[in-house]
Structure 1
Amino acid sequence: MAGDGESPAKCREPRRLRIESDGETSTRGEKRAGSGESPAAEKRTRTAGPEQETAPPKVAFGSVSLCGLSREMEDAVAVRPGFCRLPGGEPLHFFAVFDGHGGSHVSAMCRERMHELVAEEMGKAPAAAAGSKEEAEGWKAALGRAFARMDELALASCACGKAGPPMCGCERSGFESDVVGSTAVVAIVSRSRIFVANCGDSRAVLSRSGRALPLSDDHKPDRADELARIEAAGGRVIYLNGARVHGILAMSRALGDKYLKPVVISEPEMVVMERTQEDECMVIASDGLWDVISNKLACDVARRCLEDGAPSNGADDVARAVTESVTDSGEEQASSPRCSLAATLLARLALGRKSADNISVIVVDLKRGFGH
C-alpha cells in the first residue's frame, strides 16, 4: 500500500513513472531490485543443502515495479533463482512481492533479508523423502519461522533504515517507526512443487490449463475468519474507505506495524501446490494490480505473452531495456523478454484502469526454465 509519507516529488509526475524491470537471471539476483548482498550473505543462501553449484540455473521470469499515481514508492520485489538447494542438490527458486505502508523501510528490509532467513530455516528442516508429506510440513514450518524472524527485525528497525535491536535513537525512531509495515507474498518453486506463504493482501495466482488458481487468500479485515480473530484479540474493524483494523490498516496481517500488535499478526497462511504439465505461469503482484485486474485476466494476459506464437517485437524492446539497465549496474543477466513483457503489460493495464497504488508484478514461466 502506498503511504501518505513525505514529499511527493520523488514520483509524482504521471509521465515520468519509475519502472524497474528484471528478466531471466543466471546470477545471484537482480541488482535493480536492490539486492545489495555481501559475499557472506550470498554464501549463506547457498548452504541449505550439502551439494552446491557455483551458479544457480537460469529461470524464466520478468518483473516490473511502477510508482504509478502514488506519491512514494513503497513496493519491493525480490527474485532469487537457486537461492538454496535441497540435500540432494535440487535448486529452489525464490519469488516475492512486498507492499509497504507508512514508509518503505520494512518492505526494503524484506527484499534484502527474507530469502536469507528462508534459506537458513529450510537448512534446519528435518530430512524427509522428496515429495513427501513430511517434507511439505518441514518447509511450511521453516517458512513460518522465517516470517516470524522477519517480523522481529521489522519491529526492531528504525524508519531511518537502521536495523535493530537496539534502536538507533534518531528522531525517526519513535512513533514514525511503529507505523511502518509491509505485506509479504513468497513463492518457493521446486521441480515438483510450489510453496506460497502469504501475509497481507498481495497475491499469487497460478495459470493451469487456462484456469486461474489462487495460491493465496487476501488478509482483509472483513474476511469472516479474520474478523473473528481480530475481535477475539480485542481489536475492532471500522469501515472508513473500506474495512480497516481500528479504522487504520486495510489488511489484517502484515510484517511490522508495531502499534497494531497483537491484533495485526505476521503469521503467514501457506499453500502447497503439486506442479503438473498443465502449469503455464504464475503471477505474483501487489494489490495495485489486483485492485483493478481479476485473477483470470492477469493469467490470460501473461499466458498469451508467453505463447510461442505471440508477437515478439514488444518483447524484444523490453529485453533490450532490461539488458541495458543490468549492464549499467554491472550485473550479468540474460533477459526473459516474454516474461518481462507480460509483467509490464499487466502493470500498464492496471495503471490504465486508474490503479491508485504502487504496482509490482512478477511473471514466472512454468513451461520454460524449470524441469518437470
Structure 2
Amino acid sequence: MCDPTTMIKTKNTRRRRRLRVRKLRYKWQRNVHAIEESDSNELGHNGPSESNSDPLVLSENESISALDCGVYSEMSIIGRRKEMEDEVRVELGLTAINDEKYNFFAVYDGHGGAQVAQVCRERLHQIVAEEIVGWGEMDEAEWGKLMEKCFERMDDEVNRGAAAMKTVGSAVVAAVIGNEEVVVANCGDCRAVLGRDGIALPLSDDHKPGRTDELKRIESAGGRVINWNGYRVLGVLATSRSIGDEYLKPFVISKPEVTVTKRTDNDEFLILGSDGLWDVVSNEIACNIVRRCFGGKLKRLSLKVENDSHVAEAAAVLAELAVARGSKDNISVIVVDLRKPKRSSP
C-alpha cells in the first residue's frame, strides 16, 4: 500500500505546480497581448491555443538548467510531461581548425524515454571532437560528410546499447560555431533559427513524416506514414529522423541535414530549441522576443536564472511563453549571442 504521508506530499506538490502555472499564465496573458499588438500577423496564429487543463510545468526541484557564460544561456523545463526527456549540452572551445576555435551547442529531444538523449548528451560532442582532428579548412560538403559520420557513430553506439533502448530515440539539433561560420546538423524535429538583421532565418528544416520528401523516402523503403493524431511513421513516431529507434529502421534514419552559414556583421543570435518551443512559437515571434530581451524591453516573469544577462532573460522568456501558450511537451532552448563587439573609434 502507498504511504498516506507520501500521497499527501504528492497531492500538495501537484497543487503547488498548478498554482504556479496559473500565476504564470495570468501574468503572460498581459505580456502576450502587448506583443500581439505589435506582431499581430504572427503571434496567436501558430500552434495550438492555450488549454484550460492544469499542466505539469516544473518538477519539485524546479527542473531548471540555466548556465550562462555571457554569450549563451540554456533553459530546460519539464512542461506538461510527467518525465523529463530533453537534454542540452554546451562545450565552449570544443575543438580548433587552423587555430580557429569552435564552440558546440546541442538540444536533444528524447522520446520513449530519456536514455538515448542522455547518451547523446555525454557522447556526441566528444565524437565531433574526435572526428574533426586532422581536418583542414572545410567547405559545406566536407562539413556535411563530417557531421553525417558523427551522427552515424552516435547511432551505432546507441543501437549497440541495452535492449531497453531499442524502442527509445532522440531528435538532435547541434551547432558548431566558429568565427567565420555556423554549422548546424539537424536530425528530427528540433530546430535552429538565426536572428540576422531583424529577420528570422531558419537553419534547419523539421523532419516530419508528412514532409513530401520524407514521406517519399519512407514509402520507398517499404514503410508507411499513418495520420494518427498527426502524421506518424507506422502510426507510431511523429518524427522521421532520430538517433536510436532501432525498431523503426530503415524508415527512421539518423542521417542529419547539415547547413553551413557564413557569419556576417548583421548576425544577432542563434536559437536552438526542442519542438516543445517550436510547436507553439513561430520563428519570427521567437526572434522578436530575443531582440526585445537583448534591448531590455522584456523580462522573465517566474523562472529562476543564475544572473540577469540578456541571454539568460531571452532563454527564460521563450520557455515561459511556450508554457503560457499551452505547449504539451518538455521545453528546451539555447540562445547564443552572435553579435560582434563594436570597435571603438581611434
- In 2, the alpha carbon distance for the partners of 1:266 and 1:250 equals 15
Alignment of 1:15-30 (within 5 A): 15=20, 17=58, 18-25=62-69
- In 2, the alpha carbon distance for the partners of 1:273 and 1:340 equals 25
Shift of 1:20: 2.2
- In 2, the alpha carbon distance for the partners of 1:313 and 1:135 equals 39
1:353 maps to what in 2?
Answer: 325
1:287 maps to what in 2?
Answer: 275
Match of 1:85 among 77, 81, 96: 96
Shift of 1:306: 1.2
**Please, which runs of 5 or more residues in structure 1 have no aligned partner?**
1-8, 26-58, 129-133, 159-172, 324-334
1:276 aligns with 2:248: no
Native 8 Å contact 2:290 2:314 kept in 1 = yes
Native 8 Å contact 1:76 1:107 kept in 2 = yes
Q: Secondary structure of the residue that 1:21 maps to in structure 2?
A: coil
2:143 maps to what in 1?
Answer: 139
1:199-226, Cα deviation, whole Å (9 max, x unpaired): 0000000011111010000000010000
1:240 maps to what in 2?
Answer: 228
Shift of 1:322: 4.2
User: CA distance change for structure 1 residues 306 and 216 in 2, over 3 Å: closer, same or farther?
Assistant: same
2:153 maps to what in 1?
Answer: 149
Q: Secondary structure of the residue that 2:103 maps to in structure 1?
A: strand
- Letter in structure 1 aligned against 2:71: A
2:242 maps to what in 1?
Answer: 254
- In 2, the alpha carbon distance for the partners of 1:141 and 1:102 equals 29
- Letter in structure 2 aligned against 1:273: T
Native 8 Å contact 1:96 1:184 kept in 2 = yes
Shift of 1:337: 1.6
Native 8 Å contact 2:124 2:154 kept in 1 = yes
User: CA distance change for structure 1 residues 20 and 200 in 2, over 3 Å: closer, same or farther?
Assistant: same
Shift of 1:142: 1.4
Native 8 Å contact 2:87 2:332 kept in 1 = yes
- Letter in structure 2 aligned against 1:109: V
- In 2, the alpha carbon distance for the partners of 1:344 and 1:91 equals 28
Native 8 Å contact 2:87 2:117 kept in 1 = yes
- Letter in structure 1 aligned against 2:97: L
- Letter in structure 1 aligned against 2:131: E
Match of 1:186 among 149, 169, 174: 174
Match of 1:209 among 197, 202, 205: 197
- In 2, the alpha carbon distance for the partners of 1:71 and 1:109 equals 20
2:339 maps to what in 1?
Answer: 367
Shift of 1:269: 0.3
- In 1, the alpha carbon distance for the partners of 2:101 and 2:316 equals 27
TM-score scaled by structure 2? 0.79
After superposing on structure 2, the runs of 4+ consecutive aligned residues of structure 1 that deviate more than 6 Å are none
2:209 maps to what in 1?
Answer: 221
**Higher gyration radius (CA):** 2
Q: Secondary structure of the residue that 1:83 maps to in structure 2?
A: strand
2:74 maps to what in 1?
Answer: 63
Q: Bigger shift: 136-145 or 274-283?
A: 136-145
Paired residue total: 290
1:104 aligns with 2:92: no
- In 1, the alpha carbon distance for the partners of 2:110 and 2:332 equals 11
- Letter in structure 2 aligned against 1:20: I
TM-score scaled by structure 1? 0.73
Shift of 1:261: 0.6
Native 8 Å contact 1:312 1:338 kept in 2 = no
Shift of 1:336: 6.9
